[in-house]
Amino acid sequence: MKDYSKYFKGPSLKDARSRGRTEVQHLDDAFEIPADMVGIGKGQTYYIQTYGCQANERDTETLSGILEMMGYTHTDEVKQADVVLLNTCAIRENAEEKVFGKIGYLKNIKKTRPNLIFGVCGCMAQEEVVVNKILEKFPQVDLIFGTHNIHRLPVLLKQAMLEKELVLEVWSKEGDVIENLPSHRANNYKAWVNIMYGCNKFCTYCIVPYTRGKERSRELDEIIKEVEELKNSGYKEITLLGQNVNSYGKDLNNDTSFATLLEAVAKTGIDRIRFTTSHPWDFNADMIDIIAKYDNIMPSIHLPVQSGNDEVLKLMGRRYSKESYLKLFDMIKEKIPDCTITTDIIVGFPNETEEQFQDTLSLYNYCKYDLAYTFIYSPREGTPAAKMEDNVPLSDKEQRLYRLNELVNKYANEANQKYLGQVVKVLVEGPSKKNPDVLSGYTEHNKLINFKGDASMVGQIVDVRVTEAKTWALTGEQLESNN
Ligand code: 5AD
Ligand code: SF4
């Protein structure tokens, strides 16, 4: 394959691997729209499709904010849009296949609308293999930019409009923390709040440390300012976001920790606080105490375990054992007895034996999680695990996933039965996806509930009696007193 690296500023796996000592800068003036791009989008529309995790959803809000500042308006119709962006996810191969499918589909649209600017951004843009594939096979792409280049969108769009050639800008060394980015939030009462970017854990299967760079925490004051603003504009719930929120503050060179931050956020008095995601390794007793102490920190923790076997955990580079994980799990359940705990599990890690998989099942039977996101291991180029030989046939991996999911469903159902007859607090989101006559929302324990109620209460927290509990959702009726 032709080496494009000398022509473009593309991603570099070598750079992405390194963790430099250079201080991250916290900038509140790094974003600007060049004078000749102000208002360039007037009368034109943009379409963004987001794949993957909440970090991408939050980035899409920033991209939308930038485009709207330039005068573009949003459209749900990809066929009508003047700017189309795919904000991509690289976590597993099937996530990438979906994106390549969409890129293929957009070829025809580009033919009928040659002035359309078609961009690919997000985690896949940070991968050398992906960028080379796009360059080789998908000439319909006009612009590729990485997760550290979002603030450069106005400049890059301008270049893409002027140049016939593909515009590529992907920085593999992480960027600074930029505080003056605009955003168009997807929801009026629930908001994502970034508290840190990147990940330093380098679990051996995971591509995220390469696509999102080293850990960079936002200053506590900036986060609190954002939460206060959200609260003042009527937001009821915020979710603090980071690849590993428990590491928050370690890079700030002061005493700030995630526990300090959580407490400061709780004191703003916003109704509901959630956070995701947590690495068990640096989840400590201080954090549990703070969660237990404040009613506005929701009793719901996502605590990915990945495997229940010590040898596999070691090969995964997870830095904890089954025993230490269970100690933490028990401590959470002891201090916050009704706490919902959910997890992520990977089956079929290279050479995982049936016995090792049985350890995962036995851990699951002990923890009886409220829910788990379960995956078949997917090798990601450039990660250490991708180099490991693997003797487990795909059919065995599929079988393991099936067996594990049977347990997931069983305990999800059992966990939901506990709420039958109880009155729960629900943040009303709107009509349910399946039935417009029914409202839906989430309880404090993060359970989806569909209920008969007053549609004027959207965006409010109401009391709902649970009348039925199924595996994936509760059913209920809003109490009269809320009407
Ligand atoms: N293969 C399968 N699952 C993965 N995850 C991360 N990397 C991989 C991979 N290479 C899962 C982990 C993680 C979740 C977000 O995705 O379980 O917690
Ligand atoms: Fe990936 Fe591990 Fe970092 Fe999570 S903690 S993003 S699994 S490297």
Contacts by 428-433 with C-beta closer than 8 Å and gap 24+? 428/453, 428/457, 428/458, 428/459, 428/460, 428/461, 428/462, 429/189, 429/190, 429/458, 430/458, 431/455
| CA-to-CA separations, 434 to 16, 349, 430, 440, 458, in angstroms, rounded | 43, 36, 12, 10, 17
Residue 464 has pLDDT above 50, yes or no: yes
Tokens read off for 384: 């250490």
Asked whether residue 234 carries a pLDDT value surpassing 70, the answer given is: yes
| Lookup result for tokens 């009821």 | 236
Atom of ligand 1 nearest to the CA of 206: 7
Asked if 370 and 341 count as a contact pair (C-beta separation under 8 A), the reply is yes
Q: What share of the chain has pLDDT > 70, as a percent?
A: 97
Q: How far apart are CA 139 and CA 107, in angstroms?
A: 8
Q: What does the alpha-carbon distance between residue 58 and residue 56 come to, in Å, rounded to a whole number? A: 5
User: Can you tell me the mean pLDDT for 21-36?
Assistant: 83
- According to the model, what pLDDT value does residue 230 have? 98
**Region 412-433: what's the mean pLDDT?**
96
What residues are in contact with ligand 2 under a 6 Å CB criterion?
Answer: 199, 201-203, 206, 208-209, 243-244, 279
267-325 residue pLDDT tens: 999 999 999 999 999 899 999 999 999 999 999 999 999 999 999 999 999 999 999 99
pLDDT bucket at 254, cuts 50 / 70 / 90: confident
Ligand 2 pocket test, candidate residues 205, 206, 305, most atoms within 8 A of CB:
206
List, for residues 63-122, the tens digit of each pLDDT value: 999 999 999 999 999 999 999 999 999 999 999 999 999 999 999 999 999 899 999 999
Considering only CA atoms, which of 410, 425, 429 is closest in space to residue 470? Answer: 410
User: Which residue has its alpha carbon closest to ligand 2 atom 1?
Assistant: 206
pLDDT at 202: 95
Residue 250 pLDDT grade (very low, low, confident, very high; cuts 50, 70, 90): very high
In this structure, are residues 198 and 211 in contact, taking their beta carbons and an 8 Å threshold? no
Q: For residue 15, is pLDDT > 90?
A: no
Segment holding 282, helix H or strand E: none
Which of 72, 26, 300, 59 has the alpha carbon at shortest distance from 180? 26
For residue 21, the model assigns a pLDDT of: 63
Whether 252 and 219 have beta carbons less than 8 Å apart is answered as yes
Which numbered atom of ligand 1 lies nearest the CA of 304?
18
420 class by beta-carbon count within 10 Å (0-12 exposed, 13-18 middle, 19+ buried): middle
Q: Which of 59-63, 195-199, 478-482 has the lowest mean pLDDT?
A: 478-482
How many angstroms is it from 313 CA to the middle of ligand 2? 13
For all residues of the chain together, what is the average pLDDT? 94
Q: Please give the Cα distance from 87 to 122 (Å, whole number).
A: 5
Residue 316 is predicted with a pLDDT of 98
Does the annotation flag 367 for ligand binding?
Answer: no
Residue 389 confidence (pLDDT) above 90: yes
Residue 339 annotated as part of some ligand binding site = no
- pLDDT (tens digit, 9 = 90+) per residue, 330-367? 999 999 999 999 999 999 999 999 999 999 999 999 99
| pLDDT for res 8 | 54
Q: pLDDT class for 6, splitting at 50, 70, 90? A: very low
**pLDDT score of 25:** 85
pTM for the model: 0.95
CA pair distance 465, 474, nearest whole angstrom:
10
Binding site annotation covers 53?
Answer: yes
DSSP 196: E
The average pLDDT across 365-379 equals 98
Kindly tell me the sign of the dihedral angle through the C-alpha atoms of 51, 401, 277, 451.
positive
The predicted-structure confidence for 143-185, as pLDDT tens digits, reads as follows 999 999 999 999 999 999 998 889 999 988 766 899 999 999 9
